[in-house]
Amino acid sequence: MTIMTIDLFRPATLAGMILQNRLIRSATHESLADGSGAPGAAHKKLYTALAEGGAGAIITGYAGVQQDGKSSLANMLMINDDSLIPAYRKLTDAVHGHGTPIILQIAHCGRQTRSAVTGRPTFAPSPLKDFIFNEERPQELSEREIETIIGSFVAAAGRARKAGFDGVQLHLAHGYLLAEFLSSYTNRRRDRWGGSIANKFRIVSEILRRIKAEEGDYPVLAKINGYDHRRGGMRPLEAVEIACLLEASGCSAIEVSSGTVEEGLSIMRGPIFPAEALRASNFRFKSLPTAVKKALAPLLRLAMPSPKPWRGYNLDAAKAIRQAVSIPVIAVGGIHTLENITGVLDSGTADFISMSRPFVIEPNIVRKLQEGRQTASRCIECNYCAIMIEEGPLRCWYGKLPARQPA
């Protein structure tokens, strides 16, 4: 046990970057960007705290590669224009001042967004309505539109490099556009972008090939779903094949997650149902009269399940993937105690651990674990942070909204 604790806090190499330890801040949307999608002073403050607090590396919240791929959540980072580069440069300089690598997660939200927010139609590989974002049917992407999206990811990687990021992470998880291509549940295409695994993976392999052609050996990481709970969706065996294709296409490291937004709280799980936060923030629910809200409350629980297990739920998939590839594997999802972290590394399940919610409540959680001040995160996994970012900047609510001020 003691030996593994030393390993955890010993410098390690990930995709050519030197990390001071094996604990990474997983991508976490902060709702802090300005109207153009640029990071500002609040980002700098948060990321500086994460770096000072000992995070081995920081993966940013998802950054949109084009306008129609913007999140329906407020104030998403964007990386769709060169004019954003100077703002990102301030952020990377601040983090590098602490010797911490920083990776930009790049994404297109696909059908998991709303035209009312993006001002554009929503797009997907196939025109299937989403259970949550069901106001409109997404349009099926044409060949030309797929080419445009590939170009946007490649341009985003180029901008990330110019802005000083140590690498980019392709968001291939959680039901966003590239995950929609990889999953047979959302990809029903019969052309060269659907059907076989090679076809479903084609958009990702094209992005990787063209980033390599334009940016050389610039590190490109990927976050994938080891599985989801959709009928005909992702399963660990297919995820292993995708991981092998990623490695063969030059991907530098794979973070293994699971779930889609449509599945409720399956990406970030926990024992507490965040009813109060959902009632306060859900864009449809919050405008209803109180009596209707109360009557509908039980339905929310059905619509937003948090399947068990609540901890370490991606570890079987991570282990299977690690056995199949030789690039580093990062495990994420409910790995919040020192015992579990060292157990994952010790058992050869993954090479690195990433966490999201523990950094929300304690940006300096790594330092605390390293100094022996704590043996676990104080996060209670209430998921109020994940729900309330629809309303404003990321923060820990610790399972309770403040009492309403009298008018």
Positions that interact with ligand FMN (CB under 6 A): 26-29, 61-62, 105, 171, 173-174, 223, 257, 267-268, 332-334, 355-358, 385-386, 389, 394
Q: How far is the CB of 327 from ligand FMN (least distance, A)?
A: 18
C-alpha to C-alpha distance for 343 and 331, rounded to whole angstroms: 12
C-alpha to C-alpha distance for 219 and 169, rounded to whole angstroms: 8
C-alpha to C-alpha distance for 372 and 380, rounded to whole angstroms: 20
**Closer to ligand FMN at the Cβ: 86 or 309?**
309
Q: How far is the CB of 15 from ligand FMN (least distance, A)?
A: 17
**Closer to ligand FMN at the Cβ: 62 or 153?**
62
**Closer to ligand FMN at the Cβ: 105 or 282?**
105
The owner of tokens 């990787």 is: 208
C-alpha to C-alpha distance for 397 and 389, rounded to whole angstroms: 11
Q: How far is the CB of 386 from ligand FMN (least distance, A)?
A: 4
Q: Cα dist. 310→49, 268, 270, 358, 383 in Å? A: 28, 8, 5, 15, 12
Q: How far is the CB of 289 from ligand FMN (least distance, A)?
A: 29
Q: How far is the CB of 226 from ligand FMN (least distance, A)?
A: 11
**Closer to ligand FMN at the Cβ: 105 or 187?**
105
**Closer to ligand FMN at the Cβ: 171 or 200?**
171
**Closer to ligand FMN at the Cβ: 54 or 334?**
334
Q: For residue 17, which phi and psi values (nearest 5 degrees)?
A: -95, 145
Beta pairing, strands 17-19 & 12-14:
antiparallel
Q: How far is the CB of 181 from ligand FMN (least distance, A)?
A: 16
